[in-house]
Amino acid sequence: MTSRPLTFPELFELPTVVDLRTAARAVGISINTAYKLVHSQRFPCPVMRLGWRYQVSTAGLLKALGIEGPGVHLDDVQRGANFARRFI
């Protein structure tokens, strides 16, 4: 069963490293397919094995999704809006 894919806002709120299940959601595949791709060394971005767990860097994941630039964070937008209000 494939979970609902992540949205852009959800992608930009990810921590620096995510588990394989989250990475699978980001690319829109099931966890079973993700494991098959990892074992055949065909997952779309580098995967780290830490003990029994697989981890994926968010930077590598975003790059594999074709998202090269930094995301816009909601708190940055809020700070910018607060700054702009000072001049109105």
Furthest C-alpha separation in the chain: 58
* Domain ranges across the chain: 8-85
Q: What's residue 33's pLDDT?
A: 97
pLDDT per residue as tens digits for the range 51-67: 999 999 999 999 999 98
Give the burial class of 61: count Cβ atoms within 10 A of its Cβ; 0-12 exposed, 13-18 middle, 19 or more buried.
Answer: buried
Tens of pLDDT, residue by residue over 32-51, are: 999 999 999 999 999 999 99
Distance CA 81, CA 78 (A): 5
What is the chain's mean pLDDT, rounded?
88
Does residue 10 or residue 68 have the better pLDDT?
Answer: 10
If one compares 69 and 77, the residue with the highest pLDDT of the two is 77
- The Cα–Cα gap between 79 and 34 comes to 38
